[in-house]
Amino acid sequence: MKPNGEVTGRERSRRESGGPSPDGPIPADHQVRQIDHVGMMVRNVDVAERWYVEVLGAVPFERVGYDVNTTTKMRSPYRHLFVMIGDQRLELVEGPDWRGFTRPDDYAMSPHYAFAVTPEALDWYLDRFDAMGIAYQGPIVHPPMPVASVYFTDPDSNHLELSAWEGYDLDRGYTDYVRWDDLHQSTVPDRPGHLRPDQFAGQ
């Protein structure tokens, strides 16, 4: 219904069909199901695409704002790329001068973006990150929660996490806070990958 009390066509159709009232309780079949996709700012979408494809196995499926030949015709002043990482949609949005990029010395835990993996996959990614020279911290455990996490960053300093809920041997992890300033060095070729607490500066 419009502010002036006039019934909209959508409201009229709902009343005629006997659908649920929008100002009442949310029906079970109208509940929000899940996060559909997350939009993440990057400085260069081509660089980000290569990184997410090579490191996390992302599969690109839609491009917006590239040129007139792209399948999606939505007008956009900047490029953005949709990829699938497992069952999760991720939108990489190009904004070279966006003021919100995380600084290398930013300790903030949020925002960060966590991807679910199996316990076996979590260990596999530790070896993969070591082989690719990607700095990470973990596995960090969070008692009493039955979850183990590995933290790392992408080339644009976005804070990322792989998490395994239930089934991971928590005795193999350790509890600590995340030193994001160390992880932002992930593009340095000789940076060691696995950061244990005794390797932190000042300890």
More confident residue, 182 or 11: 182
pTM for this model (two decimals): 0.70
Are 65 and 77 within 8 A, CB to CB? Answer: yes
Break the chain into its structural domains and give their ranges: 37-94, 113-197
Task: Tell me the C-alpha distance between 196 and 174, whole Å.
Answer: 9
Mean pLDDT of 15-43: 76
- State the chain's mean pLDDT as an integer: 76
Mean pLDDT of 116-122: 91
The topology (CATH level 3) of 37-94 is 2,3-Dihydroxybiphenyl 1,2-Dioxygenase; domain 1 (3.10.180)
Q: Which long-range contacts (C-beta less than 8 Å, at least 24 apart) are formed by 134-137?
A: 134/55, 134/186, 134/193, 135/182, 135/183, 135/185, 135/186, 135/188, 135/191, 135/192, 135/193, 135/195, 136/183, 136/193, 136/194, 136/195, 137/176, 137/178, 137/179, 137/182, 137/183, 137/195
Q: For 20-29, write each residue's pLDDT tens digit.
A: 776 677 778 7
Of the listed ranges 43-52, 64-73, 185-194, the least confidently predicted one is 185-194
Of the listed ranges 38-52, 155-169, 170-184, the least confidently predicted one is 170-184
DSSP for residue 78? S
What are the tokens at 56?
Answer: 């996390």
**Nearest residue to 136 via CA among 159, 116, 117, 156:** 159
Mean pLDDT of 57-75: 72
Q: Which pLDDT score is estimated for 104? A: 58
pLDDT band at 76 (very low <50, low <70, confident <90, very high): low
Are 52 and 154 within 8 A, CB to CB? Answer: yes
